[in-house]
Chain A
Amino acid sequence: MGSPRVSYRIEGAFFIISFTDPRYLNSLSFDDFIYISELLEKADKDDSILYTVFQSSGKFFSAGFKFDSIAEFGEIKKEKNPLRQLSLLFGTISSQNVLVADRFLKHRKILICCLNGPAIGLGAALVMLCDIVYSMTDSVYLLFPFSNLAFVTELSSSITVARKLGHSCANEHLMFSTPITYNELFDKKVIVRNYKMDDTDEFNKKVIADLQKQAKQLHPDSIIGIKNTIMTGEYGRLLKLSQANESTTTFPFWVDGHPQKRFQQMKNKERRHKL
């Protein structure tokens, strides 16, 4: 099992998941997200791991959903049995919200994101699910273009964005598909530190080196224990609720077929993200 766009390696207490497709701005397919959730499971079960770190390559952290994956919906449409077709569609759409979001929620290790550049859609949702985010420069941004693409918040972003940015700002950015700039991410302390670097590989190495230094002398069980108590609070419960809410809210949009059409338009460059 694997993906040409996602790889992982283990360095001591760090389980590092890397996006390795800079040519396509690290856009990811549905299957890639399933693979990420499998890697989370792997990191979670490994007792020597305390930190799960997301890193990327090139200019973008992740441009989000891979437009080529839109072909999957063509395959689903070919299914003659309408009930079977509905079931396949539900499996594809709900997988991020139910399986992937749940594995983020249940992940016991500290989730750290090395944000080298912009992240869009599900890629941006992944950043918001991380416990700690470091940025490479001040030109990073997050974009949730769900209203432009004709569906709704997925991968728990209805909770993470509102909780971490405040309700008013979350509504503004989610309703109108406007980017969340570095300034806002830093002011609201989603990004806890800006490394002010140019090169993604160097940035990734520097973050790991800093983390190794900071992690020295800490009691490993305390780290897992602190996260566990934090997640038993309100935030964990809201994330859990969001999985069913988001899946059932987004599904009718995909049944109507608008998101598929708009992704096709994006692929044909007839529609653009608002930046």
Chain B
Amino acid sequence: MVELKSEDKIKYTINGPFFVIKLDNPKNLNAMTREDYLYLGQLLEKSENNPDVYFTVLTSTGRFFSSGADFANITAKNENSNDPELTKWLSNFVATNLYVTDMFARHSKVLICCLNGPSIGMSAAIVALCDIVYSKNDLVYLLFPFASLGLITEGATSVTLPRKINDNVAYEKLIFSQPFKYDVLKGNIIVKNYKIEDTDEFNSAVLKDLSEKIKYLHLPSCLGMKNLIHSSLRDEIIRVNSIEVNDALKFWLQGEPQRRFKQLLLKERSHKL
């Protein structure tokens, strides 16, 4: 199998004030390698540094928004490296997660997610890091299978989920690796359900609505308000992000996640849905 480059799997376009990122690897359910997550972080930085951009819009393709970490990639990273374990997981896990989560937390543009389907793991954490989420239909869900993968909460989900949804629900779903389905997400994370079948149509409908909505707005006001609303959540995410990754490092050093990712790859284990 030819290894695709991140640039081939994640595209972007700039359309007026919108910086539109598109996960474009539907055949693989938009699973992401470490490099893909890093590339996503770099695209956020690109959007951040463009003074004409006010909104960063995440879109995807096909059935899944993103099925999360690419199992094959993790297993390959584990088996094809002679680095000491600490070095290996500092670079493959700690640095990547810290960087990507931090890029989202500190992003000053309004983050909008067009949720076309299910999202899992770190990719689901990214959905929860967005300021506004629109869903394609009521079949979308977010799954954080950390407890069944031998990991702990990552991507600041220990902050975003209790805060945006509710403490008790967050505990139940996180502890038992249960999906957060549409009925739990609506009103808390998802602000509107488009009830559309086709992903491309859904993405265009959202972008069309957004262009309509901002017509008479003073866009710097939008960024000013985001900054004010986001300030306490941002501080909390930045603080907890480093605790999450460093706590999780112990799990990688013990080898439990690697074992369980490999079982997923060999189909000896499946996500609980």
Give residues in A with beta carbon < 8 Å to B.
Answer: 110, 130-133, 163-164, 188-192, 214-215, 217-219, 221-223, 225-230, 232-235
Contacts and interface: CB of A to CB of B under 8 A. Distances in A.
Contacts of A232: 158, 239-240, 243
B158 A233 contact: yes
Contacts of A235: 162, 167
Interface stretch (B69-77, B172-180, B223-231): B172-180
B146 A164 contact: no
Interface stretch (B102-110, B148-156, B212-220): B148-156
B40 interface: no
A225 B176 contact: no
Most buried by A among B149, B172, B175: B175
B181 to A, nearest CB: 13
B236 interface: yes
Given A192-B168, A229-B158, A234-B163, 5 more contacts: A163-B167, A188-B166, A215-B176, A217-B272, A230-B162
The residue among A190, A219, A235 with the most chain B CB atoms within 10 A of its own CB is A219
A191 B184 CA distance: 13
Contact of B247 (A130, A189, A229): A229
Interface residues of B, number: 40
A190 to B, nearest CB: 6
A219 B150 contact: yes
Interface of B: 146-153, 158-159, 162-163, 165-172, 174-178, 184, 232, 236, 239-240, 243-244, 247-248, 251, 254, 256, 260, 269, 272
A218 B176 contact: yes
A233 B150 CA distance: 21
Contacts of B170: 230
Contacts of B149: 219, 222
A226 B167 contact: no
A230 to B, nearest CB: 4
B58 to A, nearest CB: 24
B177 A218 contact: yes
Contacts of A215: 176
B159 A132 contact: no
Contact of A219 (B147, B159, B178): B147
Nearest to B241: A229
